[in-house]
Each structure stands twice: as structure tokens, then as C-alpha cells.
Structure 1
Amino acid sequence: MHARMIKAAGLALSLLWAGAVNATEVRLSAPTAGDDLQDDLRAASLAIAANEEKATKPQDLLAAARADYAQLIGVLYAMGYYSPVINILVDGREAASIPPFATPKTIDKIRLKVTPGPKFKFSQARVAPLANSTVLPEGFAVGEPAKSTLIQEAAQAGVSGYRDVGFAKARIAGQNITADHRARTLAADIQLDPGRRLQFGDLIITSESRVREKRIREIAGLPSGETFSPEELEDAASRLRRSGAFRSVALLEAETPNADDTLDIEAALVDEKKRRFGFGAEVSSLEGLGVSAYWMHRNLLGGAERLRIEGEVKGIAGDSGGVDYRLGATITRPATFDEDTRLLVLGELEELDEPDFFERKATVGASLFRQFSDVLEVGAGVRFRYSEVRDDLGERTFTHLTIPVTAAWDRRNNPLNPVGGFYLQATGEPFVGVSGSQSGARVYADARAYEGLGADDRFVVAGRLQFGSVIGAEIVDVPPDMLFFSGGGGTVRGQPYQSLNVDLPSGDSTGGRAFLGASAEVRVGVTDSISVVGFADAGFIGADSWPGDNGAWHSGAGLGLRYETGIGPIRLDVATPIGGATGDGIHIYVGIGQAF
């Protein structure tokens, strides 16, 4: 019993000792500094950070306190204070005076006392010589607050200005920075050495790759012989990344230019795994379960050709028609004809058992896509499609040659979970009837916008508009899958899948030639990984090619949850109809990724 009491007492003393160590008090005092400057000082303090992270070892706290002199001076210089007084007291002793090998056994209090002193202004702000197109930071001027960050930015702007016009080895040759404490001014004089104007030399592959060197150079599209440009260099790296064949891409400038004023570029590449397999799933209370899977080869023929085989089954155990099947294969070849154009060849078989029709179709085709920038891509191609249809109008066959033209402009800050920016996509697809099928054109556009509000974009407002039209052919002469329906997860949540269509004079129903869709969401972050969502959707289907009186609207609204996984949020939406006569009840949707 006595031994147990001793052990218990020892444990209690240990806990008290740990609590005492964790109770170290760290406080910053800067009464003459504004609130923003005090916040910056606290954020920069290693001692405050160590204490918040429950650092318990005195040597760790002392090391952090000693490092804080430089940390705090850096913040003050960045804001233009060049005569500060900083005292860091560890239990009343200046931290700088405590020998590193004489660390106290305990530390109770750390006081950070900061007197910023006066704010200095520039008496001289000069970077020379400058390239003609160089733009220096706006605040780098005589009479403005002499922030050290502005000096760094001005020097970098001077170097970048020369690099932008071909002087790849421009550098800072010297600097003279003098503080006049009596006048409270700072003189900054930066001297630049532009070096020689250079041209791109060879692209030298410095690492092994399964992609052939010739194809690597074709994909990169480095403009050898043309004037050096950082933008062109980044474009070459982006093309290699977009190919999907490489896990990492680094294009490095050679240390020394060649005698002929060219500069070689070294490419350090790491291949991605040759093959990849993936799958997904989505479930709705009405539409049932949908599952998809794909298999991909990233370097099929040694030239970064990508083969992707994918399959999808939708409508399992659903109440919206039967089960849909799709099996497709695509081959994508980057750098076809030039470095910014990729070739896509596809083949697809599909069976659609929808509420208003049953269709089997086969499609083959090829398209070229031109990348005009990191955010803008335009494509055009030709496809041949054959379909067999059974619906209210009877059994029919359609054979069409189509010419799809597409454009996508993606300015979202994160395609998987955007909190800012926009996305625009438009497709025009003229179709030529073969073997008696009618000709016409199908148009579709999708516009989405996102705006983050509040601290860390806790609130996100998202909106979407969709438009579709079939021109030049009557409804009965167009395959149902080229017409438009509304209702379900992709259009109006809360309404039954494809429940809004067109009633023909004969009493039959089919898709419409005109479609409008609108969606709005407010996403509110509850934690770093959980968000709640309120949403409303509306859709219009019309019999004519353009929206008008010959059509109808319906709408739905609901609430949802999102759980962020790092590869996109898991989505749960619960919705109900709020307008129209196409449905009732509660509908549940579960999937991966935002609704739009």
C-alpha cells in the first residue's frame, strides 16, 4: 500500500511538473505599434508559436526566443521601421545574453518588448539601368514609406524586365542602401548587370524516360534559335505537364551561355506510372446507382500517346427507365502537327433505356484540340454516328455525320472544388443526315461562376446557366439523345429524372429542341472539411428551337452536405420540387465532386 502511495504521489508530481512546464507565459508588448503591425509581429514570433504548440523543453523555448530578434526585425524592416528597440526577456534576462550552454532548467515567462521607432521614407529609390518595358513597384519612390520588401521587389522587377526581353543572365551587380537615422530616411541604389541578349539553344534531356527524346522535344516545343523568354520556357514546361506522361517536369537554364549567344535548357523529367485504373459511383433515390471505371495507358507507343478505356452503368435499381450502358475508348496524342495541338480518336458503344425512349448507338470520330493558353482550348472534329431508337413514335434508325466545334475557357481557381473564378464551355455541332436522316445543328453552352466571401472564403456563392438548342430539323427527325430533357442531378435536383419533356399533338412525348437551366448554391464552411449547402435549380424545355411560349418550366430546391477528401468533396443533396407539375416527394443524391 505504501509503495502504491509513493507511485501515485510521483505520478501526481510528474503531472504537476508537466503542467508547470506547459504553463510558460509568452507575451508580446508593442504599445506604440498599430494593431496590424502587432498582429504581424505575433505571427512572426517563433517563441509564441513554440508556446502555442506546447513546446516544453527550456532549450527549445530559449532557442526560439533568441531567433526572434531576427524574426521581429525582419517584420519591422519590411514595414519601414529601421531604428527599432527590441528586448526579449526570459524570466527577466535578455535572451541574447544567456549563453547557449547555460540554459535555465525552467522558463516561466518570456516577454517580447518592441518599440518600432519612426517610420523611414525613401530619400532615393533607384534601380539602374532598366529595360524599357520595366515597371517598378508603385511604392518604390522618393517620399514613400521605405519598406524593405519594396526594395526586394524593385530589384527583382529590374532583373525580370531584362529577362523578359532576352537577357536571361541579368543579375544584381551591386547595391548601396543607407539609412539616415536623423533624417529618418533610407537611400536605396541598386545596380543591374543585364549581360548579353540570348537565344534559346538545345533542349537537353538529363534524365531517362520511356518517352522518346524526339517526342519530348516535339511536345515541349522549345523555340530554339529564338530570343530567350521566361514565358516561352514556362509554356514548354506546361506542355510537358499537360501530356500526362510525366510526374514531375523541371526545365532549368544552363549556368553558362554558349559562345554563339544561345542558352541550352536542361529537362529533368520523372515519368508517371504507365498504367492507371480508377472508378466512381453516384446514387440517387430515383435514378438509382451509377458506377463507372476506366483503365489508362499513358505512353502507349513511346510518344506520350494516352489510351483510355472506360465503361459506365447507370440506373441500377432506379425508377427512371431501365439500365444504361456505355463502353468507350479514346487515344490522345499530344503535339500533333504542332506543339499546342492534340489529336483525339474515339470509339463508343452506348445503350440508353430512358423514361421516354430506348436507344442503341455507335460513334466513331476524331478531333483536334488547340491549346491557346493554360485556360483556353478550342477543338473541332468529325464523327460518324449510327443509332436505333424505340420510343412513342415507333422504331427508327438515324445515321449522321457530325462536325463538333467546342471551346472551353476555365478560370476556376480549383476545378475540383472552386471558390473563385468562372468556367465557360460552348459546343456547336452541325449534323448531316445520311440514308434519309435529316440535317441540322445542335448548340449547347454551360456557364459557371464562383465567388468566395468572408475569411478564408468560408462562404461561397456559385451560379450556373445552361442553354441548348436544336436548329434546322424537326423534333421527330432528331435522335432523342440529341434533344433536351430536364430533371435530375444534372439539371434540376428535386424533380424526377428527365421528367420535363415535350408533348406532341399526337399525344406522344419526347425531348425538346430548346433548353434553359439555372442553378444557384450557397456553400458555408463549418469546418476545414465539412460544408453545408443551400441550392435551387430551375429548367425549361420547349418544342421550338428557341425558348418561348411553346414550353414549360419546373424547379427544385434543397439542402446538402459536402465532405472534402482532397480529391474532391463527397456530395449529399436532399431536394424537393418547388415549381412545375412534373414530380413530388423528396429526392436524395450522393456523389463525388460539387454539383457544378
Structure 2
Amino acid sequence: MGLKTIRVFHLSVAALAILATPALAYSLKFNTPGASDDLRNTIKGASLLVQSAEDDSKDAQDVLSEARADYNRIVSALFAEGRYSGTVSIKLDGREAASIPPLDAPSTVNNVTVTVTPGPEFTFSRADIAPVAPKTDLPEGYKVGAVAKSGVIVDAASAATTGWRDAGHAKAEVSYQNIVADHRANQLASDVRLAPGPLVTFGRLETSGNKRLRTKRLREIAGFPTGEVYDPKKLDQVQARLQRTGIFSSVAITEAKTLNPDDSLDVNLAVVEQKKRKIGLGAELSTSDGLGLNGYWLHRNLFGGGERFRVDAGISGIGGATGGTDYSIGARIDRPATFNPETSAYITTEISQKNEEDYTENAFDIGFGLTRIFNDKLTGDVSINYGWSKVTDDSGQTYFRQVYLPTKLTWDDRDNKLDPTKGYYIQAGVTPFVGIGGDTGTGAQVTGDLRAYRGFGQNDRFVLAGRVQLGGVYGSDLEETPRDYLFYSGGGGTVRGQPYQSLGVEVLDGGTLKTGGTEFVGFQGEARIGITDKIGAVAFYDYGYIAGGGDSGSQAGAGLGLRYKTGIGPIRLDVGFPVSGGTGSGAQLYIGIGQAF
């Protein structure tokens, strides 16, 4: 059975110094006889001439250069679609571009004609690849009878090589390939052979670039698995540990080109440290909550061991319709790689004053905790804290003192934390507390936060987003429960369109006392629509339910919003209106950065 040669021109490229020629925009004809609309679009998408047809800054030399490049670009596009008998003709004012000598470029080009005959689709008559490591997933299209797309062959070789690397053979490679096209039968025979190489273990870690961070601490944070069987995922973990410290602007990991005599593999780690200090500012505005301002000062490497020291200060409720102005200042220091590379320790403290509609609180808090990264989606956090607060409300002054143990697990597989289009976020928390003194009870607060996102359409321009919040306090009477553990509804984080913390409960305590509830259920739903690449619209509906002390109530709000995408997340503008409940008082405006949830 004979083989037909594909007509492709292979030309050398010379670097030339030429006289400037006048700028022009040429007339382009693009012919693809026998091609479907999808194939025609694919071919045109590979052509530089198509991309430059209306660019009058191109001179004739540029057009000739792009025409010569288009031969291989278009043939590669045909191969990628399983077309191996195609022909390509590119004529500049009637002359085949491949026949024009590089030193004889025309002074002008007025008409360009591209004719591509794609030829028939080829199928695999043979699709062999060996040896293949266990649990390797080869492309579904790499099989006898399937369309013989060149990219499928590349993907099969890549998948087989990756399979061996995942099994510990770091130097696996393609050792032989034989690909033959039968132009009479329109078939392609593919035979790929691999050389897995020896089973490899991790050798030494060579470090460079750290100036302020001690090398010993750099190695502890990296957690390089010397002596363990090679696994590329472990190198990804090393890089992730270093990046999440926030110390480095760049982390580069490079495997040695050759193995050591004992089949171990050395790895080079090069880092670039960021500036030691950083200052950040933020703001959020709501018609009911008022203006909120916050800022922080950060030191990325306080003692030379990767410690992050951060001071936060905030003021909120400025000009708010309910309550007064709230103040807070706090500090936190984190130490990565404490006990093991996946665990960080922290100490935190905060002083705050809240001036809410139904109470005023002065509070102090201090605690020590641990954060554990179980994998790239699951994180755990536990701490032991002491809290003190003085609450003034209609019943007088109450002092709360307690030792508490906040514990939470977070599962987060969203594709983008500030503007997610798919995935889930689930956080479950329990905070046991023990009262110290006569005014504070003993019990536990339990919370849940579940969010889901689903995108539709091209580039996920339409997104449905939903959030459910749950909360409860158990074991402690309402009046003996510290105010931070009680629940309110209303405002940007719960029900938009209702004033901030407008829904709680009312209980009799020598009169009527307004306070937070011991039970909470909240729902937020959004339909997000991309109008342009930068601008989007949102329709939302929120609902909240509060109960406790024999009282209960609910409220709902709905509205519309706009989003403007930036590099730090979308700028958010929402206008909400009350739908149900007795706390609403007209439209509420919310401005911030990032999606509402």
C-alpha cells in the first residue's frame, strides 16, 4: 500500500536588515474547500495573516514573514484535527509565498489568497503505547478506529510519562515513536515506547535566595521529603507550604538533570523574598450599617524564622442608622512549621468596643491556637482563649468571663475565593465555653456555613450561588451567654435589605430586653450574570430566622446589584429592599470588594 507525501514547504529564516517599506493593509481571501464551518474556523484561527489582515502597520516584509510561518501553523492545525493529506497554498499578489526568496521580498502586497484543502479525516489503525504504569489514565481518543488527532498522540505520551513519574520513576521518557500515515486508506499507525528508568528517591535539597529567613527554618517550612520515594505531588506541597507563608514573591523548584549513583534525585530550591513590611487599607459602606474602615500593618519575617506579625485596626458604624460607632484593635503572630510542616501556631489578642442598638460592650480577648493544613482543600483550626467583656443594656451591666475552645474545619474547593464560579465551601465550628464567675454560663456554640456555586454558558458568564448559615447555643441560658455567641439577622452578611442586626429576640427581664437569639437559620441566593468581561449584574434574595428565650421571628430581603471586576476581586454594589418581617425601613445600599459570599 503506497504512501502519499504531504505537501508542506520547509524554509529557513534569515535575519535581514531591509529598508523600510510603506505601511499597508492587504485584501485577504481565505478558501477552505470541503471544510465544515468548525474546521474552517479552526484553520483561520491558526493563521497569522488572518489576525493581521486589517493591521495597516504591517509592511510587505512582515506579510511575507507571516505567510511563511502560516504554512507550518496551518498544517499543524490540520494534523490536530486528524487531517494528514491537506494542502496549503498562500499567494501574495499571485506568487506562492514559499517560492519568494527571502532576499527578494516585494515592496508592496495588495492581495493575499490562502487556499487550504483539508483532505479526509484519518483514523487510528494502530494505537500502541508501552509500557504503561498501573493506574495510568490514557486519553479516551487514543484507540483503534478513533479520529487520529495529533494532539491525542501527544496527550497519550504525556499521560504515560506522568503515570511513571507518579509511580516514582522521575526520569521516565519516550524512548521511541513510529507514526506512519497510510494515505490510501486514510489511516494512521502510532507506536510509542517508553523508558521508565529506575525507581527514584528524593536526595538533597539545595537552597538559595533566602537572605533574612534562616536556612534551617526554610528547610523546616519546606518539609522536603529526603529519602522518600519520588512523587511530583510532594514537590507541589513543598512549593505550596513556602508560598502560603507570604514571605516569598517567587518560589522555584528545579529537579537535577541526572540521578545520583544510588538513584536519588537532588532538588534545587530558589526563593526571592518579599519586602518585610506591608500596609493595607479597606472600606465598606452600607446605608444602615454606615461606613466601615479597616487597616493593617504586617511584618512578614519578624524574628528571621518566618513569623508573620500583623496588627489590625478597624472602625465601623460611622454614620450608621442603627447603634453607634464600633472600634477594635488586635494583633496576631503566626509561626509556620510548628511541630510539623503542615501545622502553624499563633497567638492572638484583641481589644474592642461595640455600640449596638440594644447594648454596648467593652471586650478583651487573648488566645493561643494551631492551624493544620490537611490537604489543599481541608483546613482545621483549634485554639484556647480567655475572654472578658462588660455589657451594658436595658437590664444594667453584666460581666462575662470565660475560657473557650473555638474549633473549626473548613473545606474549600472553590475555583476563585473572591469571585467563585464553581465549587463548594463548607465550614463547621463548635466553641465550648466555661464561665468564670456568676454572670457567665457554661455551654457551647455550634455553627455551620455552606456555600455552593454553579456556572453556565461560555466562560461561566451565568452563575447560580447559594449560601446556608446555621447556628445554635446549647447548655447556657440566654441571659448567661456572652453576647458574641448570640445571633442576629439583618445586614450584608445575613439579610440584605434589612437594617444591620435588626432582628433578634425580646425577652422579659423586669421589662422588655432586646438581645440576640440562641438559634439562627439564614439563606442567601444569587443569580450572577456577566454583561461584559468586566461588568456583571446580580439578583439576590436573602432570608433569616432567629429564635431564643421563647421568642422567634424571621425577615427577608431582595434586590439587585452590579459588579465591576478588578485584579483584587469584583467591586460590589447592592441595593436591597425588605420583603417580609417588621424591621425593614426602605432601600439599603451596600458597597464592598469581593462577592457577597
Alignment TM-score > 0.5, same fold:
yes
What is the correspondence of 1:2-401 to structure 2 with a 5 Å cutoff? 21-22=24-25, 24-401=26-403
Question: What's the CA shift string for 1:218-271, capped at 9, x where partnerless?
Answer: 111111111000111111111111111111111111111111221111001111
2:589 paired residue number? 588
Give the TM-score, by structure 1 length.
0.93
Structure 2 counterpart of 1:560, which letter? G
Q: 1:407 Cα shift?
A: 1.0
Query: CA contact under 8 A between 1:519 and 1:535: conserved in structure 2?
Result: yes
Partner deviation per Cα, 1:312-363 (whole Å, 9 max, x = no partner): 0001122211110111111111111001111121011111111111111111
Matches of 2:486 and 2:58 in 1, distance apart? 69
User: Partner of 2:102: helix, strand, or coil?
Assistant: coil
1:522 equivalenced with 2:527 (yes/no): yes
Superposed CA offset, 1:383-420 (max 9, x none): 11011101122210011111111111111111121122
Give 1:442's aligned amino acid: Q
1:562 matches 2:566: no
1:409 to 397, 408, 411: 411
SS in 2 for 1:269: strand
Measured in 1, the distance between the counterparts of 2:68 and 2:442 equals 79
Aligned 8 A contact 1:199 1:225 in 2: yes
* Superposed displacement of residue 107, structure 1: 2.2
Task: Report the counterpart of residue 447 of structure 1 in structure 2.
Answer: 450
| Aligned equivalents of 1:170, 1:209: Cα separation in 2 | 36
Partner of 2:489: 486
Distance in 1 of aligned mates of 2:218 and 2:28: 56
Give the CA deviation at 1:536: 1.4
- 1:5 paired residue number: none
Cα distance in 1 for residues equivalent to 2:180 and 2:149: 13
What are the superposed Cα offsets for residues 567-587 of structure 1, whole Å, 9 maximum, x if unpaired? 111111111111111122111
The residue aligned with 2:467 is 464
The answer as to 2:539 corresponding to 1:538 is: no
Q: Answer yes or no: is the 8 Å Cα contact 1:345–1:366 preserved in 2.
A: yes
Within 2, Cα distance between the matches of 1:585 and 1:123? 71
Q: Distance in 2 between matches of 1:247 and 1:131?
A: 37
**Alignment partner of 1:432 out of 408, 431, 434:** 434
Q: Partner letter of residue 155 of structure 2?
A: E
CA–CA distance in 1 between the matches of 2:210 and 2:344? 24
Secondary structure at 1:107's aligned position in 2?
A: coil
The 3 A distance-change label for structure 1 pair 53 and 458 is: farther
Tell me how far apart the structure 2 counterparts of residues 25 and 388 of structure 1 sit (CA, whole Å): 80
Provide the residue aligned with 2:5 in structure 1: none
Consecutive unaligned residues in structure 1, runs of 5 or more: 1-16
Q: CA deviation at 1:25?
A: 2.4
Instruction: Give, in angstroms, the shift of residue 494 of structure 1.
Output: 1.0
Deviates more, 1:140-149 or 1:290-299: 140-149
Structure 2 letter corresponding to 1:538: Y
| TM-aligned CA deviation for residue 99 of structure 1 | 2.2
- Partner SS for 1:508: strand
Distance 2:452 2:462 in 1: 14
Percent identity over paired residues: 48
Which amino acid in 1 is paired with 2:231? S
Letter in 2 for 1:578: V
Distance in structure 2 (CA, Å) of the matches to 1:32 and 1:391: 82
Give the aligned residue type for 1:491: T
Pick closer, same or farther for the CA change 1:53–1:380 going to 2, 3 Å.
farther
Q: Contact 2:209–2:273 (CA<8 Å) still a contact in 1?
A: no
Q: Secondary structure at the match of 1:162?
A: helix
User: Residues 30 and 38 of structure 1 are in contact (CA less than 8 Å); yes or no, is this contact kept in structure 2?
Assistant: yes
Distance in 1 (CA, whole Å) between partners of 2:268 and 2:241 is 15
1:510 equivalent to 2:512? Answer no
Q: Secondary structure, in 3 states, of the residue corresponding to 1:233?
A: helix
**Larger deviation, residues 353-362 vs 85-94:** 85-94
Residues 512 and 263 of structure 1, relative CA distance in 2, 3 Å threshold: same
Q: Separation in 2 of the partners of 1:347 and 1:457?
A: 41
CA distance in 2, matches of 1:166, 1:321: 62
- Local SS of the residue matching 1:235: helix
Once the two structures are TM-superposed, the CA of residue 202 in structure 1 deviates from its matched residue by: 1.3
CA deviations on 1:416-442 (whole Å, 9 max, x unpaired) are 211222211121111111123210111
CA change 1:330–1:521 in 2 (3 A) is same
- Partner residue in 2 for 1:501: 504
Are the counterparts in 1 of residues 492 and 500 from structure 2 also a CA contact under 8 Å? yes
- Structure 1 residue 111, shift from structure 2 partner: 2.1
Query: Secondary structure at 2:240's aligned position in 1?
Result: helix
8 Å Cα contact 1:254-1:266 kept in structure 2:
yes
Per the normalisation by structure 2, the TM-score is 0.93
More displaced 10-residue stretch of structure 1: 262-271 or 520-529: 520-529
Instruction: Name the SS of the counterpart of 1:528 in structure 2.
Output: coil
SS of the equivalent of 1:559 reads strand
Q: Secondary structure at the match of 1:101?
A: helix
Deviation at 1:34? 1.9
Return the alpha-carbon distance in structure 2 between the equivalents of residues 326 and 259 of structure 1. Answer: 60
**What residue ranges of structure 2 are gaps of 5+ in the alignment?**
1-21
Is the CA contact 1:357–1:480 (under 8 Å) kept in the aligned structure 2? no
* Number of residue-to-residue matches in the alignment: 573
Which amino acid is the alignment partner of residue 539 of structure 1?
Answer: G
Q: Could you tell me how far 1:181 is from its partner in structure 2?
A: 1.2
**Displacement after TM superposition at 1:445 (Å):** 1.3
Partner of 1:8: none
Shift of 1:54: 4.8
- RMSD, matched Cα: 1.5
Alpha-carbon distance, 1:381 to partner: 1.5
**How far apart are the structure 2 equivalents of 1:180 and 1:128?**
22
8 A Cα contact 1:55 1:61, kept in partner: no
Q: Any conservation in 1 of the 2:505–2:551 contact (CA below 8 Å)? A: no
CA distance in 2, matches of 1:277, 1:394: 40
- Matches of 1:206 and 1:264, distance apart in 2: 14
2: CA distance, partners of 1:228 / 1:35: 47
What is the identity, as a one-letter code, of the residue corresponding to 2:52? A
- Note if contact 2:428-2:448 (Cα within 8 Å) is conserved in structure 1: yes
Cα drift, residue 53 of structure 1? 4.8
Moved more, 123-132 or 191-200: 123-132
**Equivalent-residue separation in structure 2 for 1:411 and 1:176 (angstroms):** 42
SS at match of 2:585: coil
User: Is the CA contact 1:27–1:48 (under 8 Å) kept in the aligned structure 2?
Assistant: no
